[in-house]
Every structure is written in structure tokens, then in C-alpha cells.
Chain A
Amino acid sequence: MMSLTEISFVEVVRKQHAFKLKSYGGVFTSLVMIQFIALLFSFGASGGMGSSSGSISYEISYYSGWIIISFTYLWAFITAILITTKAYRNDDFTFVSNRLTSNLSNIFFLLTASLIGGVTALLASNVIKLLVVLFYDLDYVIGASLTIQDFFIGLLSTTLYIFMFTAAGYLVGTLVQLHKLFVIIIPAVFIGGLFVDVGQFQLISRISEFYVAEASFLLFVIKSVITVVLLFLTSIVLSNRLEVKQ
């Protein structure tokens, strides 16, 4: 009996996840659009410098996929907020489900979306470089070749960053569903965090440094997985209160 219950629970989550992948097409339409816009922005250099010495002068423009990756973070954050809204929650009523299966299927959907976002963001970064090399009038191209190992490190870390943004967005969305006052509180806390000093650094910089300054890939994976688990766990606990409230 116990095993039957477990199977049906897993089955419900699996079916909801499959349903969401099929029916939340707008999420992927918006991903394609936002990455396309970011691609256009990235086609201008992300930085540059110039200098001259004697009869030699040079200008160097730098290109990378950081705009695409940043836009994908934004997309992930907003998508996660949106799927906590009633408009999406009502879809779950088409299944025999409870709050937990709904949350878990959402989390798996966000994980899948993060992976898709990570892969496409990294591939789109290559596309910028291709367009630069093909269409710009250049004398020289400098840079290091991307190895397969680099690509997979980038793929996993970008996906984890995006997944962290979805986890943060999911928590923000859940809080806002819990009480509208959070629409004011959350941005206020964020803006405050930009200025409040912790030690010698601002709170937000301190938090982001905890991840971006981590040079060990293994430690980064551990940090981000723990963060994601904590954020989603908090959201699940809070969303149970939401159900009681409604």
C-alpha cells in the first residue's frame, strides 16, 4: 500500500511536469525573445580600450556572452515569479494533486527551464563571437579557445546560477502571493541591501561574492545546491500557509 502511494505521488509529479513542459510554451517563447534581444545588445562590444605608441595605434573591443547570461537570469527570475501566480496554479487542479506535488512539479519544470536557459545562453554566446568574426572588419582576433571542458563547466555553472535565480524568484513569488505588502518590502530590502554595510562591503555585493568569488567548482556546486534547496524548501513551507489562508 505504501509503495502504491509513493508510485502515484511520483507519477503525479511526473505527469504535472510533463504537462507544464508542454503547455507553458510562452515561457520558452519569452526565453528565445529575451536572448535574441540580448544578442543584439551583445553585438556591440561589452568593453574596449585603445592606445598608441609611436606610429602604432590600436583599438580593442571585447565580446562575450555576459549580457545574454544576465538577461537569462532576469528571465529565470521573472518566470519563477509568474508560475507562482493563480493563473498557473489553477492548471494544477486538472490533476489529482496537492500543494507538494504542485510545488515539486514546478521545481522540476524550473530545473528543466534552467538547463535549457543555460545551454542556449552558452550557445548564443558562441553565436555572438561567430558574427563578430564573420562581419566585423578586424585585423586580429585574440582570445582563448573554448575547450570541451570549459563548455561543460560553463554549462553546469550557468545552469546552476539560473536555477538559483528561479529559486529566488519562486520564493519572491510565493511571498507576494502570501501578502501583497511584499511587493514593497522585497524591493525595499534589495535597495537597502545595496547600501547597508556588512563589514566593508554592501550586503548584496557580499551575497553575490559568496558565489561569484568561489574559484572551486565543487564548492560552488555545493553552495548553489544548498542555496536552491533552502530557497525552495522555504517556498514550499510558505505555500502551505498560503493554502491554509485561502
Chain B
Amino acid sequence: MSIVFLIIIVAILVIVTKGKGIKVPNFGINGNSLLIGYFAVLVILSLLFYFIPYELTPLAEEDRLRELEDIDAQIYHAANNGTLDKVDALYVKDRWSEPLSGNSIKIILPEEGPASALIYAERKSEKDGKIDITHYETRSVFQDIDFESHQLQVKDNSVEVINPKPIHIKVAGLNKEFTITQFTGEDGYYSNIPFTGIVGTEVFYLRIPKDVEVEGDIWFVKE
């Protein structure tokens, strides 16, 4: 852009040295009337900008994001160490049991892999013919927007993990002009508003009867 500007300026300099120089053409338009009309349109549209009902999505606060990251890390470690039972009940989204009819179950994961869920299992000491499922979840936060969770379905002796519907979000960031941000302590020249957030952790913890064989890719924390 600056090269184009430079070329334009050099061209202007060359032109102004020729003969008597040039005046800015007004293209047969009364410049002052045009300016008044232009100004009026700008004022009306600017006022409209402040009155149209659109909502600015609030920025996710840094402290809150850090707090959520810590919780995610705690749950992840607890899952790996087999200590999920000690995790705060606040993060238990659901807890239920499903009866099993045979001696084996098949774990079906989405073809592309679980979007952001971890699946762990533990062997129960009992042979009670049912699978116990606990769904742990921390919040996904993108500028304070919530998203749907993974689902786990037990059907015909198979456990299927279903990814949430893919979401594509289109966001417009309305930046303040650099002649303002330079003095307001916001990020400086040409900076953009940060679009921050985290995708929460989801863990499905399966407690499988002692005598049931498992087919599929699953991590046992307690055999």
C-alpha cells in the first residue's frame, strides 16, 4: 500500500511542476454541497450504528479462563490416575447405569475420533450385568458462549460415543481505530481484539463388570 502511495505522490509532484500546476478537479459537482450531504449521511448512519439492536459478545475474562484451565488439568490428571471419584461433584454432568445382555461389549468411537472427550474404564469387582457411566464435564467457553456436549449411548451391547454437531462460528471483530487505541491503553497500532476461549474437558468413565469382555480402543485405569 505504501508503495502505491509513494508512486501517487511522485506522480503528483511531477504534475505540479509542469506549467501552472493543477487544481483538484471538482468533476462538475459543488464540493461544499457534496460535503454537507456526505456529512449528513455519515452522521445519520453513525447514529444508527449506536441504536441498532446488535449485541457485543463480552470478552471472556483472563482469570476465568485460567481457572477453567486449572479445573480441566485436575480432571485430566484424576482420570489418568483413577481418582475421578474424588473430583468435585460439580463437574459430574450425569451418572447412570445401563443393563448388559451378553458377556461382551463393543466400544464405538466416532470415525474421526472423539472431538474433545476422553474415555476411561475400570473393572468392577462385581458381575452385576450392568455398566455404570459417569460423564464429567467442564465448561467450554468461547467469549461466554456455551456449546453442546458429547453423547454416550449404550445399545445392543455396544457403547457408542457421539460427537457434538460441528459448529462453525463466524465472528466480526470491530476494532477501535488506532488513533484511539494509541491513547486508551488498549492494544496499540493495528491490533485486534483477542478472541479467546477454551474447549472444556469431557470424560466418560465406564465401570465394566468383571466378566464382560471389551472390544475396541479404551484405556483401563483400573483392571
Interface residues of A (CB under 8 A from B): 21-22, 24-32, 35, 46-47, 49, 53-66, 69-70, 74, 77-79, 81-82, 84-88, 90, 116, 119-120, 122-127, 129-130, 132-134, 136-146, 150-151, 153-154, 157-158, 161, 172-173, 176-177, 180, 182-183, 186-187, 190-191, 212-217, 220
Contacts of A182 in B (CB 8 A): 13
Residues of A within 8 A of B173 (CB): 60-63, 141-143
Decide yes or no whether B180 CB sits under 8 A from chain A: yes
CB distance from A178 to the nearest CB of B (A): 11
Nearest B residue to A145, CB-CB: B56
Q: B10 and A25: CB pair below 8 A? A: no
Query: Smallest Cβ distance from A202 to chain B, in angstroms?
Result: 12
* CB of B157, distance to nearest CB on chain A (Å): 27
Instruction: Choose, from B67-75, B127-135, B191-199, the stretch at the interface.
Output: B191-199
Bits for B171-192, please: 1 = Cβ < 8 Å to A, else 0. 1111111111011111011101
Nearest-neighbour CB distance to chain A for B211, whole angstroms, equals 35
Contact (Cβ within 8 A) A127 B45: yes
CB distance from B166 to the nearest CB of A (A): 5
Q: Is B89 an interface residue (CB 8 A)?
A: no
- Known contacts: A142-B143, A187-B9. The answer to whether A57 contacts B49 by CB under 8 A is no
Contact A150 B21, beta carbon cutoff 8 Å: no
Q: By the criterion CB–CB under 8 Å, are B147 and A56 in contact?
A: yes
Contacting B26 at CB < 8 Å: which of A25, A54, A154?
A25
Q: Which residues in A have their C-beta under 8 angstroms from that of B190? A: 47, 66
Complex CA gap A78/B20 in Å reads: 16
Q: How far is the CA of A212 from the CA of B190 in the complex (A)?
A: 11
Q: Is A157 a contact partner of B168 (Cβ separation < 8 A)?
A: no
Known A-B contacts A26-B26, A215-B182; the reply to A58 vs B177 at CB < 8 A is no
